[in-house]
Amino acid sequence: MARTVLLIVCVGLVLPAVRCYSTGFISEACDSMIPAHGGYSPQTSPSPFNVTSNMTTYQDGDKVTVLLQSTGSTPFGGFMLQAREFGGEIPLGSFKVTGQAAQLLTCNQAPNSTVSHTSKLDKNLILATWTAALSKDPKPIEFRATFVQNYTTFWVNVKSLTLSYSGVFPNITPTSIGTTASTSSGSLTPSMLSITSAGCEVTKVCFSKPLHCNPAVDRGCYFMSASVSPPPSGSSPPSGSVAQFEMKGPSPGYVSFGFSDDRQMGNDDIYICALETNGFVQVQHAFSTGKRKPNTLPLGNVSNVMGSLEDGVISCSFTSMNPISTQQRFTDFNTPYYLLYAYGPTSNVGDIRFHIGDFSSSDKVDITNPQLVSGAGKPQSVKAHGALMLIAWMTMATLGMMVARYLKSLAKGHSPFGKAVWFLAHVSLMSLTVLATSIAFIVIFSYVGGWSGGAHPVLGCLVMILAFIQPLATLFRCGPDHRLRYVFNWLHMLNAVVIKALAVAAIFTGLQLFDNTEDQVLVKVMGGFVGWEAAFYLSFELYTSCINKGKPLLHLLCMLIPGTCVCVRFSLGNLAFLVALLVGIKVA
Ligand code: HEM
Ligand code: HEM
Ligand SMILES: *[C@@H]1O[C@H](CO)[C@@H](O)[C@H](O)[C@H]1NC(C)=O
Ligand SMILES: *[C@@H]1O[C@H](CO)[C@@H](O)[C@H](O)[C@H]1NC(C)=O
Ligand SMILES: *[C@@H]1O[C@H](CO)[C@@H](O)[C@H](O)[C@H]1NC(C)=O
Ligand SMILES: *[C@@H]1O[C@H](CO)[C@@H](O)[C@H](O)[C@H]1NC(C)=O
Ligand SMILES: *[C@@H]1O[C@H](CO)[C@@H](O)[C@H](O)[C@H]1NC(C)=O
C-alpha cells in the first residue's frame, strides 16, 4: 500500500516535469540550466554538441549570431541557451529567433534572454541572434547552453569562446533593462510543428496544390510557404535576408521544392524534406543538373530545422540565409523564380528517388512578396504532344495498317482515280499519321528546346525516322507485277511492325514521364489498349487464314469470328481506350 502511494507521488512529481520539458517550458531551470529529469545527472563526457558565435568581441547594441550544433551525427531534442557574463549567473541581452523550432523565454525578469526548444523533435542546428544590451559595467561574456539528447542523456554548461567587450565604457548610466514587470513564460504558447495556411498572402508566400488548401486540416494538401525577413540593417544582399520555409504533404519518403529559371527540372536550387534511416525528417539541399537525381549540396546557412512524420504526412520547417542559385544566376530572395514541387519515395539510406508527383507555378514568383501561388498542371504543349501521338499511332496508324493487311478484299473496288479503295485509305491514313507525328515532334522540341535524355526521346526519334523511310521507300518500289515486288512488300511490312512496336514503347515511356502519380493509371489503361489491339490482330490473322486456306478444322473457329462485326467491335473499343487516355492527359 505504502509502495503504491509512493509510486503515485513519484509519478505525480515526475510527469509534469516531463511534460513541461518536452515543450521547452523550462523557466524553473533559468538559473541552473539543468533540466528536471527525475534525478538523472548531466553527462560528464565531452558534449557532442557545441556553441559557436560569429564574433570574438562585442559592443553595446551589437548583433551576434549564435549557433548550436551537433558535431557528429546525433541530433539533439531539447536545448536552452543564454548569454552570461563570463563565469556569472545572470542572463544578459536578448535573443531573436526565426522559425518554429525555438522560442524565447523570460528568465530573471529579462524577456527574451533565454532560448529553448518548442518540441523534442530532432534538431542538428539552431541559429539565434543575440543583441548586446547597454550595460553600465560591461564585462566579457560567453554563451552557455544545455543540450538534451534524450530523457536520461543531457549536457549542461556547454560554453562558447568568450567574447570580450570592445566598446567605449559608458560614463552615463543608461536605464537598465529588465525593470518592466516580467511577462511570465506562461504567456508563451508552446507549439509543435504546425504548418497552416494562416498568414498566406499576408505574411508569407504560399504555393500549394490544390490552390487554397490548408495543410493543417486537409491531408491531401501539398503545401509550401516562404516568408522573408528583411536583412539585418547594415548588411547588404545577397547574403543578408533570412527566409523561413515550410513544407508539408502526404508522401512515402520526401517532399521538396525548388527554384527554377524555367518550369522544368534541370538547373534548380532544391530543398528536400526527407525521411531518413533513423526515422527522422531532415532537410537536404540539392542542385539538379537535368531530369535525374539532383546532386546533394552542403546545407549551408540553414538552421532551426524541424521535421515530423505523422500519418504518412511529412512536414518540416527551417530558416535559410543561403542565396538562391540556379548557376545562370546567383541572387537574393527577391528575384522571381518559378517554383517547382515534387514528392516521392526515399531509398533505405535516405536518398531520394524519382518523384511520383510534381507540379510547378505557372508564373515566376518573388517570395518576398506575400501571395498565393497555385500549382499548375502539365504544360499545354506536352499535353498536345501526347494527345497527337496517341491519336496518330493508336488509332490512325492502326486503322491504316489494318485496312492494308486485312481489308484488301473487302475494299477492292476502284476509286474514281483508278486506285483501289483500300490503297487510298491506307495511304491517306498513313500520311496523316506521319504528318501528326511531325507536328507533335515540332511541338515537343520547341517546348523542351533540346535533348532531355532518357529512353522516350530515343524511341520517339526512331519512330519518326522509320516513319519517314516508309513513304520514301514506296517511291522506289517496282511495279505490282515485277518479280522483285515481294522485296518491297516484305521490307514495308517488316518496317511497319518495327515502327508499331517502337511507337507503343514510346507511348508507354511517354505516359510514364507524363503521369507520375503513384498508381500510374494512364500507363495501365495503355496496357489494356495494347492487349485489346493484340487480341484483334490475332483474330484478324486467324480469320484471314480461315478465308484463304479454308481448312475444315479452322472453319469452326471462323464461324465464331464474323468479320464485319469484329471490325465494329474493334473500332468501338479502340475509340473508348483512346478517349480514356485523352481525358487522362487533359485533366493532368
Ligand atoms: C509514338 C509516340 C511518341 C513519340 C514518337 C514521342 C516522341 C518524343 C520525343 C522525340 C521527345 C523528345 C523531346 C525531348 O525530351 O528531348 C518527347 C518528349 C516527351 N514526350 Fe513524347 N512521344 C510519343 C508519345 C508520347 C506520349 C503518349 C506522351 C504522354 C502524354 C509523351 C510525353 C512526352 C513528355 C512528357 C516528353 C518530355 C517533355 C520534357 O522533357 O519535359 N510522349 N517525345
Ligand atoms: C508510316 C507509314 C506506313 C506504314 C506503317 C505502312 C504499313 C503497311 C502495312 C502493314 C501493309 C500491309 C502489308 C501486307 O500486305 O501485309 C502495307 C501495305 C502497303 N503499303 Fe504501307 N504503310 C505506310 C506508309 C505507306 C505509304 C506512305 C504508302 C504509299 C505511298 C504505302 C504503300 C503500301 C502499299 C502499296 C502496300 C501494299 C503492299 C501489298 O501489296 O500488300 N504505305 N503498308
Ligand atoms: C554576426 O552576425 C550578426 C547577425 O547576423 C551580423 O550583424 C554581424 O555582422 C556578424 N558578424 C560577423 C563578424 O560576421
Ligand atoms: C562545432 O561543430 C561544428 C560541426 O561539427 C564544427 O564545424 C565546428 O568547428 C565546431 N566548433 C568548435 C568551436 O568546436
Ligand atoms: C521578445 O520577443 C518577442 C518576439 O520576438 C517580441 O515581440 C518582443 O518585443 C520581445 N521583447 C523584448 C523586451 O525584447
Ligand atoms: C539515451 O541516449 C543514450 C546514448 O545514445 C542511450 O544509451 C540511452 O539508451 C538513451 N536512453 C533513452 C531512454 O532513450
Ligand atoms: C553564412 O552566412 C555568412 C554571412 O551571413 C557567410 O559569411 C558564410 O559564408 C555563410 N556560410 C555558408 C556555409 O554559406
For 196-211, the pLDDT digits (tens) are 999 998 999 999 988 8
The CA 263 to ligand 1 mean position distance, Å, reads 16
The pTM for the full model equals: 0.54
CA distances from 11 to 27, 377, 434 (A): 21, 55, 79
Q: What's the pLDDT tens digit per position in 272-295? A: 999 887 677 889 999 998 778 899
What pLDDT was estimated at residue 172? 31
Q: Which of 181-195, 196-210, 405-419 has the lowest mean pLDDT?
A: 181-195
Domains along the chain? 2-168 (2.60.40.4060), 183-373 (2.60.40), 380-587 (1.20.120.1770)
Better-predicted residue by pLDDT, 240 or 34: 34
Residue 14 pLDDT exceeds 80: no
Residue 508 pLDDT exceeds 60: yes
The CA 67 to ligand 7 mean position distance, Å, reads 12
The mean pLDDT of 216-232, rounded to a whole number, is 86
The CA 321 to ligand 7 mean position distance, Å, reads 8
Instruction: Give residue 163's pLDDT band: very low, low, confident or very high (50, 70, 90).
Output: confident
Instruction: State whether residue 255 is helix, strand or coil.
Output: strand
The CA 492 to ligand 2 mean position distance, Å, reads 6
What pLDDT was estimated at residue 11? 39
Residue 235 pLDDT exceeds 70: no
What pLDDT was estimated at residue 511? 92
Q: Which residue, judged by its Cα, is nearest atom 2 of ligand 5? A: 112
Q: What is the sign, positive or negative, of the torsion defined by CA atoms of 283, 285, 290, 293?
A: negative
Residue 170 pLDDT exceeds 60: no
202 exposure class (CB count in 10 Å sphere: 0-12, 13-18, 19+): exposed
Instruction: Give residue 565's pLDDT band: very low, low, confident or very high (50, 70, 90).
Output: low
Better-predicted residue by pLDDT, 177 or 416: 416
Q: What are phi and psi of 469, to 5 degrees?
A: -60, -40
- Nearest ligand, CA 49: 4
Instruction: Give residue 250's pLDDT band: very low, low, confident or very high (50, 70, 90).
Output: very high
Q: Which of 56, 67, 69 for mutating ligand 4's site (highest number of atoms within 8 Å of CB)?
A: 69
Q: What's the pLDDT tens digit per position in 121-144? A: 888 889 999 998 877 677 888 999
What pLDDT was estimated at residue 466? 95
The mean pLDDT of 141-148, rounded to a whole number, is 93
- 197: Cβ contacts below 8 Å, ≥ 6 apart: 206, 208, 212, 213, 214, 215, 216, 223, 225
- 430: Cβ contacts below 8 Å, ≥ 6 apart: 396, 397, 400, 401, 470, 471
The C-alpha atoms of residue 154 and residue 64 are separated, in whole angstroms, by 26
Q: Which of 97, 103, 104 for mutating ligand 5's site (highest number of atoms within 8 Å of CB)?
A: 104
The mean pLDDT of 470-475, rounded to a whole number, is 87
Instruction: Return the ligand 3 atom nearest residue 65 CA.
Output: 2
Residue 554 pLDDT exceeds 90: no
Instruction: Give residue 504's pLDDT band: very low, low, confident or very high (50, 70, 90).
Output: very high
**Measuring CA to CA, which residue among 94, 116, 93 is closest to residue 103?**
116
Q: State the CB neighbour count (10 A cutoff) for residue 47.
A: 21
Better-predicted residue by pLDDT, 169 or 429: 429
Q: What's the pLDDT tens digit per position in 64-95? A: 999 999 888 888 989 999 999 887 888 899 99
Q: Which of 11-15, 230-234, 477-481 has the lowest mean pLDDT?
A: 11-15
Cell triple for 22:
518536452
Q: Where are the alpha helices (DSSP H) in 334-420?
A: 380-390, 397-406
What pLDDT was estimated at residue 497? 94
Instruction: Give residue 517's pLDDT band: very low, low, confident or very high (50, 70, 90).
Output: low
What pLDDT was estimated at residue 20? 41
Per the prediction, the chain carries an average pLDDT of 81
What pLDDT was estimated at residue 184? 26
Instruction: State whether residue 331 is helix, strand or coil.
Output: strand
Residues in the chain: 588
